[in-house]
């Protein structure tokens, strides 16, 4: 259950970073270009962290894959 909460929390951080970059892109003020790049870099880093977290959870048996039966 804890791993599911961690995954959802990281997804919220990724979404927050993405919308923060969008906000700074739309405002288009001086210095916001650097902020946009920084926020997008954070998003990429958190996405990579989520991928590693899911791979580790799968390897340790904390999560199990399931498919559609039909």
Taking the domains of the chain in order of start, what are their residue ranges? 2-60
Q: Please state the rounded mean pLDDT for residues 25-52.
A: 89
Q: Is 69 helix (H, G, I), strand (E, B) or coil?
A: coil
Q: Against a cut of 0.85, is the pTM above it?
A: no
Structure token digits, residue 5 = 């909460």
pLDDT of residue 33: 80
Average pLDDT value for the chain: 89
Are the beta carbons of 8 and 67 closer than 8 angstroms? no
């Amino acid at each position: 259950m804890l791993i599911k909460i961690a995954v959802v929390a990281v997804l919220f951080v990724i979404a927050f970073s993405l919308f923060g970059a969008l906000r700074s892109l739309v405002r288009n003020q001086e210095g916001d270009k650097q902020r946009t790049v920084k926020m997008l870099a954070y998003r990429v880093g958190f996405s990579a962290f989520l991928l590693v977290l899911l791979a580790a959870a799968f390897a340790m048996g904390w999560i199990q894959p399931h498919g559609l039966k039909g």
